[in-house]
A = this chain, B = another copy of it.
Amino acid sequence: MSGKTTIYDIAKQLNITAATVSRALNDHPRISQDTKELVLKTAKELNYEQNKLALALKSGKTYLVGVVVPYINRNFFSNVIRGIEDELYPKGYRVIISQTHEEEEKEIETIKSLLNAQVDGILMSISKPTTVTEHFDMIIKKNVPLVFFDRKKDIPGVSTVTIDDFEGGYKATEHLIQQGCKKIAHVSVYLNIGIYKDRFEGYKKALLDNGLAFREEYIIQTESQVKAGKKALDDLFKLNDKPDAIFTSSDHIALGVMQQLKKKEVKVPDDFCVVGFSNEPFTKFMELPISSVDQSPIEMGRMSAKVFLEQINSKKKVKIEKKVVLPPKLHIRKSSLKE
């Protein structure tokens, strides 16, 4: 029989009970050494493998953790998952991946499905359009640990792992100021989304802390796309008092900006500096590499996993609510580094 050995088979072989076999296998204290050895030996002989399913049904623990992201093939998310898997695998947990495709409905459906699969926990990044919270309540009501990473919602009892977007914006802007830039514009992705708002606020604070004026006309809101970056630069250059630097919340926008600067024959970094956000792989591969704020996705994944583990290992009834905020790391490259 192909790998279908059960503890009963071992029991029969040794003329003992399945219970004894189970205990021997689990190194139960009051099982004789002899029996243990015997059981272990025949278990090996018969190619016995514990059926996790039966165990899960009995114990209610599946050692399965659901990870929910908008799209798994986005650089940021695949790195977070990398971190989660790296951390959880050694602890015996397996990771189930699902994508929401940035749709609220699919997010809800996915959560239901994961709960149905009896996962021991859910780590997720909320999809953009999501507004309802009933599906989160379902998770909490079932006492399944829930951890939000990056994109969160403030819900009692739910832990979150994020980076300090405010500090990211602050650092990037401060760096530009240190480089001697005086008129720093900010191109943001839609400001109604928390993380982008925070980056913007960090930018603003850095300006004020350094005695620079905040100018409304230097703020542009647009999509995270290369062509949006191009247009943003064009618009900024139509101003009478042109900026001499841009901090943007998106590397793709930064790229568009860079391309347009090249076209206009503006010298970077001598006459204009650029800093992006996310540290996408391409930023360092450019002919003129782009400075960017790194979000430490792998670290974020590891941390989310750790928070989950703490939660699951604590006395069942204690609700831990942890808010981890990771420091962003500014990668300074040629696009903003004057000699």
Q: Do B94 and A3 have beta carbons less than 8 Å apart?
A: no
Which residues of B lie under 8 Å from residue A287 when comparing CB positions? 259, 262, 286-288
Query: Is A143 located at the chain interface by the 8 A CB criterion?
Result: yes
Chain A residues in the interface with B (C-beta under 8 A): 2-3, 49-54, 56-57, 62-64, 71-75, 78-79, 81-82, 85-86, 89, 94-99, 113-118, 138, 141-143, 226, 255, 259, 262, 280-282, 285-288, 298
Selected from B71, B85, B118, B226, the residue in CB contact (under 8 A) with A82 is B71
User: Taking the full assembly, how many copies of this chain does it contain?
Assistant: 2
Specify which chain B residues have a CB less than 8 angstroms from the CB of A226 in the assembled complex: 285
Beta-carbon contact of A86 and B115 below 8 Å:
no
Q: Which of B56, B98, B282 contacts A94 (CB 8 A)?
A: B98
Chain B residues near A56 (CB, 8 Å)?
A: 53
Q: Quick one: closest B residue to A82, CB to CB? A: B73
Shortest CB distance A14–B (Å): 23
A94, B96: Cβ atoms closer than 8 Å:
yes
A57-B49 in contact (CB<8A): no
For the complex formed, measure the closest distance between the CB of A153 and the CB atoms of chain B, giving whole angstroms: 21
10 pairs from A and B in contact (CB 8 Å cutoff): A2-B141, A53-B53, A73-B81, A78-B78, A85-B99, A97-B97, A280-B281, A281-B281, A281-B282, A285-B286
| Cβ-defined partner of A57 (8 Å) among B57, B115, B259 | B57
Min Cβ gap A203→B in Å is: 24
* Cβ of A30 to closest chain B Cβ, rounded Å: 27
Determine which residue in A85, A97, A143 has the highest number of CB atoms from chain B within 10 A of its CB, and name it.
A97
A117-B94, A262-B287 as given contacts; A143 in contact with B2, CB under 8 Å: yes
Which residues of B lie under 8 Å from residue A259 when comparing CB positions? 287
Q: Is the CB of A116 within 8 A of B52?
A: yes
Could you say which residues of chain B place their CB within 8 Å of the CB of A2?
Answer: 141-143
Q: B residues within 8 A CB of A280?
A: 281
Nearest neighbor of A112 in chain B, beta-carbon distance: B49
**10 A-B pairs closest in CB distance:** A78-B78, A282-B282, A73-B82, A73-B78, A73-B79, A53-B57, A282-B285, A3-B142, A94-B96, A97-B97
A231 to chain B, nearest CB (A): 17
Closest residue of B by beta carbon distance from A114: B94
Give the complex CA separation of A141 and B2 in angstroms: 6
